Amino acid sequence: MKKEILPADLKGLRIYFIGIKGTGMTALAEIFLTRGAFVKGSDTDEKFYTDKILDSLGIIYSEGFSEANIISEIDFIVHSAAYTVLNNIEMKEAVSRGIPVIGYPEALGQISISGFSCGITGVHGKTSTASLAGSILKGLKLPVTTLVGSGVNAFGGRSSFTGGDKYFVAETCEYKRHFLHFSPNIIILTNIETDHMDYYKDFGDIEDAFIEYINLLPSGGRLIYCSDDKGARNAASKVNRLRPDIRQLPYGRTALSPYRIKVSDTHDGVSLFSLEGFDAEFSLRIPGMHMVLNATAAIALTVSIYEEEGLSPDINGIKRELSSFTGSKRRSEIKGEAWSILFMDDYGHHPTEIKTTLKGLRDFYPDRRIVVDFMSHTYSRTEALFSDFARCFGDADIVVLHKIYSSARETEGRINGRSLYDEAKKYHSNVYYFHEVEDSFSFYTDKLKKNDLFITIGAGDNWRIGESLLKYYREEKSE
């Protein structure tokens, strides 16, 4: 049983968020606000899409950090993982005053203690799965609060939806074992692969972390896992030997369960699929077999919550919500169309994600030329998965690479963006390199043709080139 740091009843509690503009932090602030807490916060003066969300909620926040913001009336402080006492004056001041301070993963875990909680995890696919599940549950008006690591169209562009506090569905992250703060009753496991090599020693280390997380399930708790993924399948098998009291529910094309995908077809920009245990055909407008898998996991979670409620699942309602799902921010997100060029953006930063995304786009848009702008994220990930990154662009017609986006985790590595370019040329005949993202602008205006699909991929800031090009084609080109 996890230790309760925050009281179950948040009414009247004064909570201050350091780094409040972060996607997860804004979502958490909204959840705390709806549960009766008084919420304030601070962040940099850089503008994010979350500024509008915070303003619409009436949450007061400072742009810039100051010791003067940390007043004695604050009961708790929640901080972004980006800030510590070493790099943030407000954190330092809070600790010196003895104000209780917890990080985002711990605060998320505190919410999970107070209700029936469902954690969605995996090296990739967790955001899309959480978005799908949250959108379905919202549409069916079940008493659920949902938190996702991206803005969701069905949530009005927000990352959270508060439809009741009986159930809590949240994306839970494996980085630095953050998900171990969560108290799950149900876990969705999309996959396990090598990643985050700046923290994990090897694949065995990351697998152990996922198994430790699954073992947090109570007796009778449910593991919904993708049987098509070797990592998830092996972890489920190991857990079954240790914890036969956990109910396991596989899903996928190989699953021996009601969630075996029997039929999957793509035409006219729609994926159609059916499941072994349901007399229904489901449809999804987001490309890729990986999205069909994610949708199936979301269906399994929704049915599980209906079972907890003692109700028969509303299959027609699930079909309706799936068919109307339009995605989430930076997950195969359509940014717009100009001069007959379709502009998209995707957060994929792992070779498997990139490969499956491009395969889905190729199936969805067989008549379009696919032009990919990719910026790799972190030196350690690029080095650890170097060969896989070089080989993952097979379904693209043109690939442009840039310098590695290091983020706050690292400043340098043994390889760089040009190293990846040199390796990728061995497997793809149409690869180009521009160290700085903005230097590729004139290349694109020369190369792009009508009916192309242009997509920026990665967890860096190369999405900016897509927005610049979309603006250019809207303003400078005419049909």
pLDDT at residue 330 in the model: 67
In a shared domain, residues 344 and 452 = yes
pLDDT band at 131, cuts 50/70/90? very high
Query: 255, 290, 323: which is the final residue of a domain?
Result: 323
Q: Which of 382, 386, 377, 440 minimizes the C-alpha distance to 409?
A: 377
Q: What is the CA radius of gyration of the chain?
A: 22
Confidence of residue 1 (pLDDT cuts 50, 70, 90): very low
Q: Are 98 and 127 in a shared domain?
A: no
Q: Give a yes or no: residue 108 inside a domain.
A: no
- pLDDT score of 479 more than 60: no
CATH of the domain at 47: 3.40.50.720
Looking at the structure, do residues 303 and 422 belong to the same domain, yes or no? no
In a domain, 366, yes or no: yes
Of 460 and 62, more confident: 62
* Statement to judge: residues 310 and 363 lie in one domain: no
In a domain, 7, yes or no: no
Same domain, 96 and 145: no
Q: How confident is the model at residue 48 (pLDDT cuts 50, 70, 90)?
A: confident
Q: Which stretch of 159-163, 193-197, 395-399 has the lowest confidence by average pLDDT?
A: 193-197
Does residue 8 fall inside a structural domain? Answer: no
The pLDDT of residue 477: 72
Q: What is the pLDDT of residue 3?
A: 59
Q: Is residue 249 very low, low, confident or very high in pLDDT (cuts 50, 70, 90)?
A: very high
Q: What percent of the chain has pLDDT over 70?
A: 96
The model's pTM? 0.79
Pick from 222, 119, 127, 217: which is nearest to 168 by CA?
Answer: 119
Residues 274 and 361 placed together within one structural domain of the fold: no
The yes-or-no verdict on residue 22 having pLDDT over 60 is yes
The Cα-based distances of 382 to 73, 209, 229, 418 in angstroms read 45, 21, 22, 12
Residue with tokens 């028969």: 312
Q: Please state, for a pLDDT cut of 90, what percent of the chain lies above it.
A: 70
Is residue 58, in this structure, part of any structural domain at all? yes
Residue at which a domain ends, from 103, 137, 163: 103
Q: Give the domain range for residue 66.
A: 14-103
Instruction: Out of 83-97, 124-138, 175-189, 333-347, pick the least confident.
Output: 333-347
Q: At what angle do helices 351-364 and 289-309 cross, to 10 degrees?
A: 100
pLDDT of residue 426: 94
State the average pLDDT for the chain. Answer: 91
Q: Are residues 298 and 344 in the same domain?
A: no
Assess whether 227 and 299 both reside in one domain. Answer: yes
- Residue 1: how many CB atoms within 10 A of its CB? 6
Asked if residue 328 is part of any domain, the answer here is no
Q: Residue 310's pLDDT is what? A: 95
Give the pLDDT score at 407.
63
Average pLDDT over residues 436-464: 94
Q: Which pLDDT score is estimated for 266?
A: 78
Domain boundary among 72, 103, 134: 103
**pLDDT at position 411:** 65
- CATH number for the domain spanning 404: value is 3.90.190.20
275 pLDDT higher than 90: yes
Q: Is 209 helix (H, G, I), strand (E, B) or coil?
A: helix
Is residue 184 within 8 Å of residue 119, measured between CB atoms?
Answer: yes
State the pLDDT at residue 409: 59
Task: Please tell me which residue, 226 or 1, carries the higher pLDDT value.
Answer: 226
Nearest-CA neighbor of 174 among 137, 144, 149?
Answer: 149
Asked if residue 317 and residue 193 are part of one domain, the reply reads yes
Q: How confident is the model at residue 9 (pLDDT cuts 50, 70, 90)?
A: confident
For the segment 212-239, the average pLDDT, to the nearest whole number, is: 97
CATH number of domain containing 202: 3.40.1190.10
Q: Is 6 within a domain?
A: no
Res 174: pLDDT: 87
Q: Is the pLDDT of residue 162 over 60?
A: yes
What is the largest distance, in Å, between two alpha-carbon atoms of the chain?
64
- In terms of domains, do 88 and 172 share one? no
Q: Say whether both 316 and 394 belong to one domain.
A: no
Q: What is the pLDDT of residue 329?
A: 63
Q: Is residue 355 part of a domain?
A: yes
Q: Which residue has the higher pLDDT, 35 or 150?
A: 35
Number of domains in the chain: 3
Q: Quick one: 358 and 314 in the same domain? A: no
Of the listed ranges 174-188, 228-242, 282-296, the one predicted with least confidence: 282-296
Cross-strand partners of 79: 18, 103
For residue 65, give the amino acid letter: F
